Amino acid sequence: MERGTILTCNGVYEFKMDNLDELVNAAKKHNDTEALNKLIKKHYVAFADYTFYEDKNQYGSGLFTGVIKFDFSIRNNQIFMYIDNDTDDSNTNQFVGLWKSYKKNIEKICNWGILRIPCSDDLDIGVGEFSPNMKYIDNGWRSYLDEDNSESTINGAGWWK
């Protein structure tokens, strides 16, 4: 394959809350539409084998292989692909795998995610949010900390290089 993505779904699982009816009734009683909207969604998690072929004509390109996990919800027959559940353990849209160079015999661990990096060992020392360990500051994390993960850093400064 020249370039592209292959996803093979391994399973979709629904989160069920034991006390959902009780919480919905309390939200209705107090006319709390914000809470009610959050509660009436069905929440799911899906796992898939992930293969991403980078463009072979690009310098430093390779192949990503691994497993991706993503959360989504359904409300009123509309699918929401991103769930922000406002908790410290949010870990949606995560990848655990490897990157292998097309041209060199190089293979690297490649893990990423929204809000947290899975299987990152001592890289992430944050309590309520991702915070890189200072011993890795010179491995590309200085600008991440300096800009406090602002949009300008992510979209403009090239902190990932």
Task: Report the percent of the chain where pLDDT is more than 90.
Answer: 32
pLDDT at 157: 52
User: Could you tell me the residue ranges of all domains in the chain?
Assistant: 4-118, 120-161
Element (H, E) at 111: strand 107-113
pTM of the predicted model as reported, rounded to 2 decimal places: 0.69
pLDDT at 14: 87
Ranges of the chain with pLDDT below 70: 1-2, 40, 76, 81-90, 147-161
What is residue 139's DSSP assignment?
Answer: G
Element (H, E) at 47: strand 42-53
**How far is CA 69 from each of CA 7, 62, 97, 111, rounded to the nearest angstrom?**
11, 21, 12, 11
Please say whether the beta carbons of 5 and 50 come within 8 A: yes
